[in-house]
């Protein structure tokens, strides 16, 4: 499995024609909290700027290392996949995907060693058609139709969060720790025989065919995967029930 740092290093966040330096700072902070560091700026209106530094809230290194480019194509150098984030469906014929789907595609490409860009537009005008035309797909955060536009840095945060969640999901979950392994098939079979006998003896079936209920009970216990100790307790309960049924019959 690829080291998460290597994956993150292949993913860049590109902010195009950003008007407010505060948003650049907030975006730096947003990606830094999710383990990313690469910010590329295309013709920012003001940068560097004290407002950017103030809102970066300590993510200064991201700002210090941010590349500044004269056009979008420059900022995409070396990348083989570019996804454009847009609140509105534009007149471009691009596949539209969710941030979650985007995260899967981005990580798959990064795991193959490719570099990937996530492209964000200007606060007021968004991404222009010719900017989206440089992208392979459009990512839309599913906001409501009548108020669909998020603050730029918040859109960055949503995308960075989805990538982080997807990256954490890549780590195979450790199997749950158990004190004892589940009982084996032979032991389970003994238990089902005992259970069936007991149900007979306590006259649980009342003339009904026992097959269906036995299958259901099997399903229940298979799901629970009892261990040997737990099976001993269950056998104990069944044995007591059998004893009581015997007593009841004698009276
Ligand atoms: N009026 C502009 C809004 C720009 S908001 C427009 O309609 O596009 C600034 C940037 O934040 C956008 O260019 C986009 O990259 C990102 N953004 C905001 N809301 C978004 C959403 N719902 N889905 C995807 N990206 C969004």
- Ligand 1 touching residue 85 (CB < 6 A): yes
Q: What percent of the chain has pLDDT over 70?
A: 96
Identify the pLDDT of residue 158.
Answer: 98
For residues 153 and 141, what is the distance between their CA atoms, to the nearest angstrom? 13
- Ligand 1 touching residue 153 (CB < 6 A): no
Give the highest mean pLDDT range of 19-28, 205-214, 219-228.
19-28
pLDDT band at residue 219, thresholds of 50, 70 and 90? confident
- Ligand 1 touching residue 222 (CB < 6 A): no
Q: Report cis status (omega within 30 of 0) of the bond before 82.
A: no
pLDDT band at residue 46, thresholds of 50, 70 and 90? very high
For residues 44 and 28, what is the distance between their CA atoms, to the nearest angstrom? 14
- Ligand 1 touching residue 123 (CB < 6 A): yes
Identify the pLDDT of residue 89.
Answer: 75
For residues 161 and 34, what is the distance between their CA atoms, to the nearest angstrom? 6
pLDDT of 147 > 60? The answer is yes
Identify the pLDDT of residue 174.
Answer: 54
Q: How do residues 92-120 score in pLDDT, each as one tens digit?
A: 789 999 999 999 999 999 999 999 999 99
Identify the pLDDT of residue 81.
Answer: 92
For residues 218 and 89, what is the distance between their CA atoms, to the nearest angstrom? 52
Identify the pLDDT of residue 91.
Answer: 73
**Which of the listed residues 27, 92, 155 should we mutate to test ligand 1's pocket, taking the one with most ligand atoms within 8 A of CB?**
155
Average pLDDT value for the chain: 92
**Which of the listed residues 121, 124, 138 should we mutate to test ligand 1's pocket, taking the one with most ligand atoms within 8 A of CB?**
121
pLDDT of 83 > 80? The answer is yes
Identify the pLDDT of residue 12.
Answer: 98
Report in angstroms the alpha-carbon separations of 186 from 69, 193, 214, 218, 226. 69, 11, 17, 13, 13
The mean pLDDT of 192-199, rounded to a whole number, is: 96
pTM as predicted: 0.72
pLDDT band at residue 177, thresholds of 50, 70 and 90? low
Q: Which of 29-43, 125-139, 167-181, 204-218 has the lowest mean pLDDT?
A: 167-181
E strand segments, 123-196? 137-139
The mean pLDDT of 33-46, rounded to a whole number, is: 98
Classify the phi-psi angles of 13: left when phi > 0, otherwise alpha if psi is within -120 to 50, otherwise beta.
beta
Identify the pLDDT of residue 183.
Answer: 84
For residues 123 and 16, what is the distance between their CA atoms, to the nearest angstrom? 9
């Amino acid at each position: 499995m690829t080291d998460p740092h290597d994956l993150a290093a292949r993913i860049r966040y590109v902010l195009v024609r950003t008007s407010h330096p505060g948003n650049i700072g907030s975006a730096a902070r947003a990606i830094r909290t999710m383990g990313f560091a690469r910010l590329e700026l295309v013709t920012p209106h003001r940068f560097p700027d004290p407002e950017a530094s103030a809102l970066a809230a300590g993510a200064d290194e991201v700002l210090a290392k941010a590349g500044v480019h004269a056009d979008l194509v420059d900022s995409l150098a070396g990348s083989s996949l570019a996804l454009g984030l847009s609140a509105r469906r534009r007149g471009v014929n691009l596949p539209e995907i969710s941030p979650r789907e985007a995260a899967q595609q981005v990580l798959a490409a990064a795991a193959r060693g490719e570099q990937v860009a996530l492209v964000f537009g200007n606060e007021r005008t968004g991404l222009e058609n010719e900017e989206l035309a440089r992208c392979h797909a459009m990512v839309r955060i599913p906001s409501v139709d009548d108020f669909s536009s998020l603050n730029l840095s918040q859109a960055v945060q949503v995308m960075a969060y989805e990538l982080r969640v997807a990256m954490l999901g890549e780590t195979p979950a450790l199997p749950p720790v158990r004190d004892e392994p589940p009982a084996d098939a032979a032991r389970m079979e003994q238990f089902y025989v005992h259970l069936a006998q007991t149900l007979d003896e306590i006259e649980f079936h009342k003339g009904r065919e026992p097959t269906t209920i036995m299958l259901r009970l099997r399903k229940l216990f298979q799901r629970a995967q009892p261990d040997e100790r737990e099976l001993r307790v269950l056998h104990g309960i069944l044995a007591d029930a059998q004893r009581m049924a015997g007593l009841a019959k004698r009276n």
